[in-house]
Amino acid sequence: EEETPVIDIDVSRRLSKIDPMTYGGFTEHMGRCIYGGIYDPESPLADSNGYRTDVLDALRELDIPVIRYPGGNFVATYHWQDGIGPRESRPARPELAWLGIEPNSFGTDEFMHWLSVLSEGKEKRVEPYLCLNFGTGTLDEALAWVEYCNGTKNTYWANKRRENGHPEPYNVKYWALGNEVWGPWQVEQMTKEDYAKKAAQWAKALRLLDPNIVLILCGETGVSSWDHWVLKECVQWVDMHSIHVYTCSNEHLPNVTAPLSAERSIQCAAALVDIARIEAGVPPSKPPIKICFDEWNVWDPVRAPGELGAEEKYTLSDALAVAVWLNMFVRQSRFVGMANMAQSVNVISPLMTTKDGVVKQTIWEPLRLFSKYMRGWTLGVHVRSGSYTGPTAPIWLQGMLEEGAPWLDVSASVNEEGVISLVVVNIHDTKDFETKVTVSGKDVQVYRVTGPTIQSVNTAEKTEVGLQEETWDGQGNFVFRKASMTMLRWKQ
Ligand code: AHR
């Protein structure tokens, strides 16, 4: 007989600030993300700019702080200058990442405008995060892009932006030095030595042009000789280190525990940053280099439908995996400067469009609840529960991760107003856990995400995996139902 699980929250122990950028998005010129997703001029649901209003409304609910663009792998052959100026004179180009045709009818100005529409009614705008072409792109082009976006002087590209109807600079702060340039799928795969040399040179030049930008180095999984090398060579020239991980398994328990291997990725990448800084003699007083987890999600391109294996149909099991991903970001908030769920619409996404509207997939609610409520500081939590002891599907960490994971995956936060949020994911698919939880309040709001079976999905006709709300008086034990994510919220 297993003991009653216990969750103890140390409300006085604020471990670290949760960066609001943790709940970032990503829109790539891939599949139906841009065309047919956010931009769909033929649709009756589009506004006069061609932007899908149902998509805008839905994304506003997620309160996304930053969106990465335009790729992803797409960026490796993208020439941003093709996508500005009068639409009728923009060239269509072969697109070599996803083997389509890029019409260039949506480019930098449309992205910036779309972000401003998305930001309407918000206190802070949704920040743009642009990724530079390290495949077929040149440093000249990259400098021109920064000048086009941020230039304030009487110079060629800043004037071009003005000519195109945008007198004010866009002030794009976040710039990535390439995307997955280590990947064999790139048009120009690079060695770590070549990349590090180029990244350091570009970084110096870009900063001369605009000292206010935040430059993000292209890492791999955080646990690789690539990460080690590029950090060693570039740490003094960049502001963040990016890593990518996708997890997935067709078996439920490996599926929901796989994100724990990404937790190891963050810790390892953060340690590599520290070592690189020590070796490069960077004074500790310099701002920290945080991890930018700018692609993460549950994805298996083989199982996912759609031409590119990109239109994932998410199950309840996947929703719980995403909840574990998010718990892990909160636990590791000390190291995380930004994270971007890949992607925001139609492509491996919580949000799918049909011609009649949007479908919110199973992973929607966990993401929305975290983005809405898990803000502020990470709290220390002590969890005692039984454990799952089977494989946890750590694809690239084979041998580095202990097998097994607690049945209850937990994180907790406290926000500016002193409201505590505790998220508990019960990964067990057949067992409820009656648990001793120390809540320091009497009016506890309960949000639960679950569904009839771990294979349940949401469709246009039916939301099987949605939100259940109730209240609890904080007395006695609390039952975390099988295969569920529960958020408990109370004021201290
Ligand atoms: O997000 C989908 C793709 O996955 C991105 O284009 C690429 O960076 C990654 O391999």
Q: Please choose from 68, 189, 295 the residue to mutate so as to test ligand 1's pocket, defined by most ligand atoms within 8 A of CB.
A: 295
pLDDT category of residue 284 using cuts at 50, 70 and 90: confident
What does the pLDDT read at residue 403? Answer: 66
Q: How far is the CA of 36 from the centre of ligand 1 (A)?
A: 19
Strand partners, 35: 39
- Beta partners for residue 290, in sequence order: 240
- Which atom of ligand 1 approaches the CA of 28 most closely? 6
The predicted complex's ipTM stands at 0.99
Distance of CA 473 to the CA centre of its chain: 35
Question: For ligand 1, atom 6, which residue shows the shortest CA distance?
Answer: 72
pLDDT value at 2 more than 90: no
- Relative to the CA of 179, which ligand 1 atom is closest? 8
Q: Please state the pTM of the whole predicted model.
A: 0.97
Q: Are 170 and 210 in contact (CB under 8 A)?
A: no
Query: How far away, in angstroms, is 72 Cα from ligand 1 center?
Result: 5
Q: For residue range 156-208, what is the model confidence (pLDDT) as tens digits?
A: 999 999 999 999 999 999 999 999 999 999 888 999 999 999 999 999 999 99
Q: Average pLDDT of the chain?
A: 95
Q: Out of 27, 28, 34, 132, give the residue to mutate to test ligand 1, the one with the largest number of ligand atoms within 8 Å of its CB.
A: 28
Q: Which atom of ligand 1 is nearest to the CA of 74?
A: 6
Measure 82 CA to ligand 1 centroid, in angstroms. Answer: 22
Residue with tokens 């809540």: 439
Nearest CA among 70, 73, 68, 5 for reference residue 35: 70
Q: Among the atoms of ligand 1, which is closest to the Cα of residue 343?
A: 1
Q: Which residue minimizes the CA distance to atom 1 of ligand 1?
A: 342
Question: How far is ligand 1, taken at its centre, from the CA of residue 419, in Å?
Answer: 36
Q: Ligand 1: which of 67, 244, 298 to mutate, judged by most atoms within 8 Å of the beta carbon?
A: 244
8 A C-beta contact, residue 213 and residue 173:
yes
Mean pLDDT of 443-463: 98
Active site residue 110: no
Query: With b meaning 16 or more CB within 10 Å and e meaning fewer, what string describes 165-181?
Result: ebeebbebbbbbbbbbb
**Portion of the chain with pLDDT greater than 70, in percent:** 97
- Burial annotation 338-353 (CB, 10 A radius, 16+ → b, else e): bbbbbbbbbbbbbbbb
Cα–Cα distances in Å, from 404 out to 167, 260, 282, 433, 472? 56, 10, 38, 18, 31
Distance 404 CA to ligand 1 centre (A): 29
For residue 274, the SS3 value is: helix
Task: Compute the residue count for the chain.
Answer: 492
User: Structural domains in the chain?
Assistant: 6-10+380-491 (2.60.40.1180), 18-375 (3.20.20.80)
464 phi and psi angles, rounded to 5 deg: -80, -35
What single string gives the DSSP state of each residue in 427-452?
--SS--EEEEE--S-S-EEEEEEE-S
- What strands, in cross-sheet order, belong to the sheet with 336-341? 25-26, 66-69, 127-131, 174-176, 214-218, 240-247, 290-298, 336-341
- What residues have CB less than 8 Å from 336, skipping those under 6 apart? 19, 22, 266, 290, 291, 293, 329
Name the strands in the sheet holding 408-414, side by side, starting at the edge strand that comes first in the sequence: 466-472, 444-450, 484-491, 419-426, 408-414, 376-384, 6-18, 433-437, 478-480
Is 295 marked active-site?
A: yes
Can you give the pLDDT at residue 440?
82
pLDDT the model gives residue 317:
98
Which residue intervals of 374-433 are DSSP H helices?
A: none
**pLDDT at residue 401 in the model:** 57
Query: Atom 3 in ligand 1: which residue has the minimum CA distance?
Result: 72
Cα 333 to ligand 1 centre (Å): 24
Of the residues 28, 295, 312, 365, only one is catalytic, namely 295
Nearest CA to ligand 1 atom 4: 72
Q: What pLDDT, on the 0 to 100 scale, is given for residue 396?
A: 55
Ligand 1 atom, smallest distance to 246 CA: 4
Residue 152 DSSP label: -
CA 332 to CA 341: how far, in whole Å?
16
Q: Is the dihedral of CA 81, 87, 91, 96 positive or negative?
A: positive
User: What is the mean predicted confidence (pLDDT) over 387-410?
Assistant: 74
The amino acid present at 167, given as its one-letter code, is P
% of the chain at pLDDT higher than 90: 90
Which pLDDT does position 393 carry in this prediction? 64
Pocket of ligand 1, beta carbon within 6 A? 28, 30, 71-73, 179-180, 295, 342-343
| Segment (H or E) for 211 | none
d(CA 455, CA 252) in angstroms, rounded, equals 9
How many angstroms is it from 479 CA to the middle of ligand 1?
39
For position 131, what pLDDT does the model report? 98
Residue 1, pLDDT > 60, answer no
CA 120, CA 92: separation in Å to the nearest integer?
Answer: 31
- pLDDT tens for each residue of 3-34: 899 999 999 999 999 999 999 999 999 999 99
Q: Residue range 93-98: average pLDDT? A: 94
Per-residue CA distances from 267 to 75, 109, 148, 272, 290 (Å): 28, 37, 37, 9, 11
Beta strands in 111-222 (DSSP E): 127-131, 174-176, 214-218
pLDDT mean over 264-290: 95
How far apart CA 175 and CA 214 sit, in angstroms, is 6
Measured between its terminal Cα atoms, the distance across the chain in Å is 34
Under DSSP, is residue 175 helix (H, G, I), strand (E, B) or coil?
Answer: strand
Are residues 36 and 405 in contact, defined by beta-carbon separation less than 8 angstroms? no
Q: How much helix, strand and coil, in percent to the nearest 5, is found in the chain?
A: 30, 25, 45
Among 238-247, 277-286, 350-359, 391-400, the least confident range: 391-400
Orientation of helix 139-150 relative to helix 156-163, angle to 10°: 50
Tell the residue nearest (CA) to atom 2 of ligand 1.
72
pLDDT classification of 101: cutoffs 50, 70, 90: very high
Catalytic residue among 95, 110, 180, 233: 180
Residue located nearest, by CA, to atom 7 of ligand 1: 72
Asked whether the predicted pLDDT for residue 484 surpasses 90, the reply is yes
pLDDT digits (tens, 9 = 90+) for 122-144: 999 999 999 999 999 999 999 99
Mind listing the pLDDT tens digit for each residue in 187-196? 889 999 999 9
Looking at residue 305, its pLDDT comes to: 86
Mean local confidence (pLDDT), 436-441 = 88
Ligand 1 centre distance from Cα of residue 73 (Å): 6
With contact defined as beta carbons under 8 Å apart, do 307 and 351 qualify? no
Mutate which of 134, 180, 218 for ligand 1 pocket (most atoms within 8 A of beta carbon): 180
Residue 301 scores a pLDDT above 90: no
